[in-house]
Amino acid sequence: MSNTIFPTSTEKYSKFLTYCSLSWDSKPRMVHNFTHTLTQYTPSCFAELAVVYPKSEINNFLKIEQIPIISRALNVSCITDGFGPNVIYDRYDNTKLFGGPWRLICNNYTINPMPPSTFAIEGDPKPTESYLVVMQCVDRVWYSMTQEEKVGVFSTKKYKSISDCVKYILDLHKARSSEIENSTTEFNWLQSKMTDYEFIRSVLAYTNPPGFHFYCNNEVGYFKTIGSAGCYNGEINIDIRGLETNNIVSIINKHFLEKISDGPIIIPYGEGLNDSEHQERDAAPMGGSGLSSGGKRYIKFSIDNEAIKQAFSANVNFRTRMFGRVVKLKTVLMTDITPLHTIKVANNAPDKYPTVCSGEYYVVSVKNVIGVNSNTPFVPHTYLVLSRGGE
């Protein structure tokens, strides 16, 4: 590839071009806008990419209609100048970021005509009549898991834990690999008219230890506890005086958390259950301090099993109380951070301003936004949603 098509850049990142390879189109296409999102509350990566097709070549894209969604495979990569493929080089920090390939399938798309313009297509500045194609994409493994409802039993004779069930399902759907942490909960699980994904979602509330998350990204399945990836190698510095102007939002949920307190509070109950002991269990997330005590909440429950009730109570506590403070911000590109990480935030305001935002946070959501190159039509960046326990 000729270096002449790389724009001159004095920005933070080395020169690169964003390209995609579509399984139904033999020609690699330049990507003009690419967003990739992972969250703690979604089971798959969700991505969107915009590609400009010349009018004379749009039929190459329309071959997609002849292909089932599960086979509409595509890869997105950042092709760098001098640092090898699939690397985004941070000049300021002297670090290499993940630059692909992002492996996806296209489950939906839109096509809109563009008037003749000088918008460059494949480096050609001549006015060209063209179409803007925007593809919405998900992970192939997760999509495969949503297609068929099943009836079956995961018996403890064969599957000793929930993790064993998840591993079996990921292998069944041909995940490239899996990263699975052991959950010690044992039970005979019934999959009744549910898809494989719905089954995994239904048992997440009973994991031990609490706080497991399941998602698929790059055709790899993850079933691990939130925060298990460790603290991200880097610190976010903010100034609380400029929350609005610096694209930072801080939300405090103490009024909500005080309703459930800092003590044992979840009591499963139900008809026919032995709830005389009021199974009160607790699992405090990171930063969970400073709340009032004494609150209780009763949750209707249907499984009369001591270990299952304990696991359920701990999971409800953990998930509820990890959102004491939520911080939303825009920052530099972080393609290698996931919802399994934590990250440190430092408030750089002068001493007379409170430093309440400082501390270690869970990564709730990460959205990476990359343009056609290192500075067009914007500098690549990341939107983060972070959370921590009550304060």
CA distances from 280 to 269, 271, 298 (A): 11, 18, 10
Tokens encoding 60: 């190459």
In tens, the pLDDT along 173-217 reads: 999 999 999 998 888 888 889 999 999 999 999 999 999 999 999
Other beta carbons within 10 Å of 117 = 12
In tens, the pLDDT along 130-139 reads: 899 999 999 9
Say yes or no to pLDDT of 291 above 50.
no
Mean model confidence pLDDT for the chain? 81
In tens, the pLDDT along 38-90 reads: 999 999 999 999 999 988 899 999 999 999 999 999 999 998 865 566 778 77
The span from the CA of 334 to the CA of 109, in Å, is 26
What's the whole-number mean pLDDT along residues 253-269?
57
- Closest by CA to 19, choosing from 99, 84, 83, is 99
The span from the CA of 333 to the CA of 337, in Å, is 10
Say yes or no to pLDDT of 335 above 60.
yes
Q: Please name the amino acid found at residue 102.
A: W
Q: What is the pTM of this model?
A: 0.85
Indicate the pairing of strand 297-300 with strand 266-269. Answer: parallel
Ordered by start, the domain boundaries in the chain are 3-139, 144-225, 230-253+324-367+380-388, 255-320
* C-alpha 331, offset from chain centre: 16
Q: Which SS3 state, helix, strand or coil, does residue 379 take? A: coil
